[in-house]
Chains A and B, each alone.
Chain A
Amino acid sequence: MGHLTHEESKKVANKIITILAIITIFEVAFALLGKGYLIEGFELPGVLIGGVMITLSIVKAYLIVFEFMHMKYEAPGMAKSVLIPTLLLVWGVVAFMWEGSDWQRRRTQVKTQNELKVDHKIGALIYNSQTKNIRG
């Protein structure tokens, strides 16, 4: 705000809140549409929904931090001292989600391995087809 007059900053605030509201409505509508609530039998792939949602949320975060919290008007050094640690944090979140999906893969693997039985007569491993793994 430092470089703007009162009237100008009022206009900026009005513009930003309108954009934020539109993005939120769009996100909700897109989620409902993509998951098949709006049009019978119409669905979008989960990856697309997820990608759009995450991108729009980052846009919202940018608008809140840079406009509402005036990060745009702070000294560049200060902006960096706040933003760089936060960006590293984003990698932390991504890495742990990645790790989480690997836990699931290995859990499924252990489950199928446990179901293997050794048939001593023919000397082979037999997969018990009666027990399906949890997700199929």
Chain B
Amino acid sequence: MATETLEHDNMTNHPVGDGKWEGGGRPFKASYGKLMMWYFLVSDAFTFAGFLIAYGALRFSMPTWPVPDFVFSTLPGGIEHKPLVFVTIMTFILLASSYTMVRAVQEGKRENKRGVVFWMLLTIIGGFGFLGCQAWEWSKLIGEEHMSITSNPFGTHTEAGEYLEEDGHHIKKGDTFIAGESYLIHAHDGHSTPIKYKVTEGADAGKTKVQTKGPRAFGALFFFITGFHGFHVLSGVIFLLIICLNAATGLYAKRKNGYEMVEKIGLYWHFVDLVWVFVFLLFYLL
């Protein structure tokens, strides 16, 4: 008997290589919770891919698309025309919170309760920081620039020309522009007020035209994709808070499984960071 026991799986007492289908062994040497977290993330990746497919297909089907460096170029405190700076700050906040999450998982592995709670709190602060940035960006787009899910005030010129009116903001009468340059149609008293310009190049040279709005789908895609991602960050922060509290009360220390719950929420949190890598790429970099 003694020699036979050696060949048995310590955990289940089933013979090695046999009995995995009886629910005794662990497929892929991972716990049920961790494996299911991975498969949930795969399914979530498919949902995000659905959004990104819609974005990519629509963007490629349009002759023009709002130039991100023009649309997202403001910072809090009235700083303007600084493309990519604000969103880079957001990216760094999320990256930093991913790092603190890794540290929390590592402290969990060696059963260090104080370490887990400390690094998780930093992660939660990072999550709130990111949400704050996103809230500012959204309120700017909705409140000041009047972008909505059905209307996109960001247009792009397809031919060179000269403005015949001023828009009360940056554009003055007589300002010239080239093809491919973006503009924002401002709203006054709730009405969008596109201004007139004279075409100076191409087949329509000499004609007077009025600014047109950009592709309609832009606002819906932007708000739904960043909103869905932001919702993931928000729910991630809520779960982080719950798990941090549980860790602080010593619940996971009793389980003696290397704070596996922290590891699972860590997987989710890194996934949120991973999705942001692609949202950052598609919406802001390209």
Contact = CB atoms under 8 A, between A and B. Distances in A.
Query: Do the two chains bind?
Result: yes
A50 B92 contact: no
Contacts, number: 146
Secondary structure of the B contact surface, majority rule: helix
A5 B222 CA distance: 43
A24 B95 contact: yes
Interface residues of A, number: 55
Contacts of A28: 84, 88, 285
Contact of A101 (B39, B52, B60): B60
B59 interface: yes
A50 B158 contact: no
A57 interface: yes
A9 B179 CA distance: 52
Given A64-B274, A78-B35, A97 B42 contact: no
A85 B281 CA distance: 22
Contacts of B102: 13, 17, 68
Contacts of A25: 88
Given A28-B88, A100-B61, A53 B53 contact: no
B210 interface: no
Given A75-B30, A93-B56, A82 B38 contact: yes
Nearest to A83: B42
Contact of A10 (B49, B53, B106, B179): B106
Contacts of B57: 96-97, 99-100, 103
Nearest to A77: B28
B202 A61 contact: no
A27 interface: yes
Residue of A28, A31, A69 most packed against chain B (CB within 10 A): A69
A92 B83 contact: no
Given A17-B95, A27-B285, A93 B270 contact: no
Given A28-B84, A85-B42, A86-B42, A97 B56 contact: yes
B267 A69 contact: yes
Given A61-B277, A69-B270, A74-B30, A136 B42 contact: no
Contacts of B267: 69
B168 interface: no
Contacts of A85: 42, 46
A78 B88 contact: no
B149 interface: no
Contacts of A108: 63
B29 interface: yes
Contacts of A60: 277
A89 B158 contact: no
B98 A53 contact: no
A31 B282 CA distance: 12
A53 B281 contact: yes
Given A24-B91, A24-B95, A50-B286, A37 B61 contact: no
Residue of A49, A65, A108 most packed against chain B (CB within 10 A): A65
Interface of B: 27-30, 35, 38-39, 41-42, 45-46, 49, 52-53, 56-64, 69, 83-84, 88, 91-92, 95-96, 98-99, 101-103, 105-106, 109-110, 158-159, 179, 202-204, 266-267, 270-271, 273-274, 277-278, 280-281, 285-286
Given A57-B277, A57-B285, 15 more contacts: A9-B106, A10-B106, A13-B103, A17-B96, A17-B99, A24-B91, A31-B285, A68-B270, A69-B267, A77-B27, A78-B29, A89-B46, A93-B49, A135-B64, A136-B179
In order of increasing CB-CB distance, the 7 nearest A-B pairs are A100-B60, A100-B57, A78-B28, A103-B61, A97-B56, A75-B28, A101-B60
19 contacts: A6-B109, A9-B109, A10-B106, A13-B103, A20-B95, A28-B285, A31-B285, A32-B84, A75-B30, A77-B27, A77-B28, A85-B42, A86-B42, A89-B45, A93-B49, A100-B59, A101-B61, A136-B159, A136-B179
